[in-house]
């Protein structure tokens, strides 16, 4: 049963390291350009200054992107500190979607969410909930076609929040990756009283409050 959550964490870590490597490669490229311009010179020619400024701005931009991405990853890592904690659904989905952006971009699928700001805080396992949402997104991405959408919505009902993950578009007929059985996910969610059901293009998650 532990294999699926571990696979989820492994996927997040793999995409995180790839993305950070991309950021560092761009920083290295910009720094290399500055080095080429300055090599063997005591001062920079006026005509070369715009290239130096542009490269410095590119470095600053990539550093800011890296810091933001690392902050999302740090938040995700701390979701595993306790089995139960108080958290906001919007925050959990925001960080998960940022960490899955590389995965969805490769598939050319847009991840979107539209949640009411009035949703109450959840007292449960944020990690297990993110695992459930990942299952829904991953299941759709593995059989998605390009230029499609995955949209998450939520509403409060009597005693729980109903979260809906919906795929908009057609599925590919050539599925090359294993799609997890929902029964395995349901077994893991029993730890938290979170419920999950699915049909062809919709996964519904009920979170007790």
Q: What is the pLDDT of residues 38-85, one digit of tens each?
A: 776 667 777 777 887 888 888 888 888 888 889 889 999 999 888 899
CATH of domain 3-78: 1.10.287
Q: Is the pLDDT of residue 177 over 70?
A: no
Contact between 133 and 163 under an 8 Å Cβ cutoff? The reply is yes
pLDDT at residue 176 above 70?
no
What pLDDT digit, counting tens, does each position of 97-111 carry? 999 999 999 999 999
Q: pTM of the full predicted structure?
A: 0.83
CATH of domain 85-208: 3.30.565.10
Q: How do the domains of the chain map onto residue ranges?
A: 3-78, 85-208
CA distance 76 to 97: 11
């Amino acid at each position: 049963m532990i294999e699926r959550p571990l696979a989820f964490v492994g996927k997040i870590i793999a995409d995180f390291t790839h993305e950070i490597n991309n950021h560092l490669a761009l920083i290295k490229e910009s720094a290399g350009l500055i080095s080429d311009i300055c090599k063997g010179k005591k001062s920079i020619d006026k005509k070369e200054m715009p290239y130096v400024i542009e490269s410095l701005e590119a470095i600053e931009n990539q550093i800011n992107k890296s810091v933001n991405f690392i902050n999302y990853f740090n938040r995700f890592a701390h979701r595993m500190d306790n089995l139960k904690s108080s958290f906001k659904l919007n925050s959990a989905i925001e960080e998960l979607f940022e960490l899955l952006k590389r995965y969805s971009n490769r598939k050319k699928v847009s991840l979107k969410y539209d949640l009411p700001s009035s949703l109450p805080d959840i007292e449960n396992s944020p990690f297990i909930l993110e695992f459930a949402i990942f299952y829904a997104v991953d299941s759709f991405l593995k059989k998605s076609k390009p230029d499609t959408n995955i949209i998450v919505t939520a509403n409060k009902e009597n005693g729980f929040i109903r979260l809906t993950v919906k795929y908009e578009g057609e599925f590919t007929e050539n599925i090359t990756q294993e799609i997890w059985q929902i029964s395995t996910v349901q077994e893991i969610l029993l730890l938290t009283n979170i419920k999950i059901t699915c049909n062809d293009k919709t996964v519904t998650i009920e979170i007790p409050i």
